[in-house]
Amino acid sequence: MNKLAYFLLLFVLLSASCNQKNGTGENSSGSAKNKGLQDAAINPDQRELIVAELKQMQQAFGDKDVNKIEKYFIFPLADSTLSIYEVNEDFDLARKSTGGNISRDLFVKNFNDIYDYFQMGGFSDLFKAVDLDELKSKQEVTSEHHVKDESCYTFYRISIEGDMVNLQYGTNSDQAYREAHPDEEEVCGESAFNWLFKLEGNKLRFIKEMTAG
């Protein structure tokens, strides 16, 4: 199973878990089987708010503005919400002393290293690759960027289920390249970043990040 398929499956399972906690698991599961019905049941006001929040997020990451970006997170960040290991010596020691939790000050102070660690430039590429306004009437928007004779392609996806918003970006093996180079066992250093947010009140709040590769 490639990383894109893995994350799609993982997101479905995680969303189902979150919906069950909200008491909406049964209805969400049923509607997920029929995308047409789900899209027809979109709450226009909620979608307008989510899209507006995503556009604000686009601006924040485009500017690489830590003061705007940190507002999407609730601190301290629990160790279980981020797949983060070795960032830099000071950061790692500070996290160890707090049981793995990340305070706002620690996040802001080490933001550049955290940004590089999670390849957060992918957020800006993601927002450039899709039309956010389409999410007002669609459950998801996706985009792929293939380059001839390149072993990897980049993929981008934003999906919404109720008040949960999933953002994905990464690289995967290009099938055309694989077919043209059957003797190469590994043609691409695949990677995938998956960020789950939830609309709370009128703000998107970070829930969990998952990384592969």
N-to-C CA span, the chain: 13
Quote the pLDDT of residue 173. Answer: 83
Mean pLDDT of the chain: 84
Stretch (H or E) spanning 5: helix 3-21
Stretch (H or E) spanning 200: strand 191-200
**Rounded Cα distance, 71 and 57, in Å:** 10
Q: Angle between the 25-32 and 3-21 helix axes, to the nearest 10 degrees?
A: 140
* Residue spans per domain, the chain: 3-212
For the chain, give the percent of residues with pLDDT over 90.
65
Quote the pLDDT of residue 23. Answer: 45
Chain centroid, CA 205 distance in Å: 12
Q: Is the pLDDT of residue 148 over 90?
A: no
Identify the CA nearest to 15 among candidates 165, 140, 155. 165
pLDDT digits (tens, 9 = 90+) for 11-57: 444 444 454 444 443 333 333 334 443 454 689 999 999 999 999 99
Virtual torsion, Cα 34, 40, 44, 46, nearest 10 deg: -20
Q: Is the pLDDT of residue 137 over 80?
A: yes
Strand partners, 170: 155, 192
pLDDT digits (tens, 9 = 90+) for 97-132: 999 999 999 999 999 999 999 999 999 999 999 999
Residue 104: both structure tokens together = 């706002």
Residue 183 burial class via C-beta count within 10 angstroms: exposed 0-12, middle 13-18, buried 19 and up: exposed
Strand partners, 179: none
- Three-class SS string for 109-172? HCHHHHHHHCCCHHHHHHHHHCCHHHHHCCCEEEEEECCCCCCEEEEEEEEEECCEEEEEEEEE
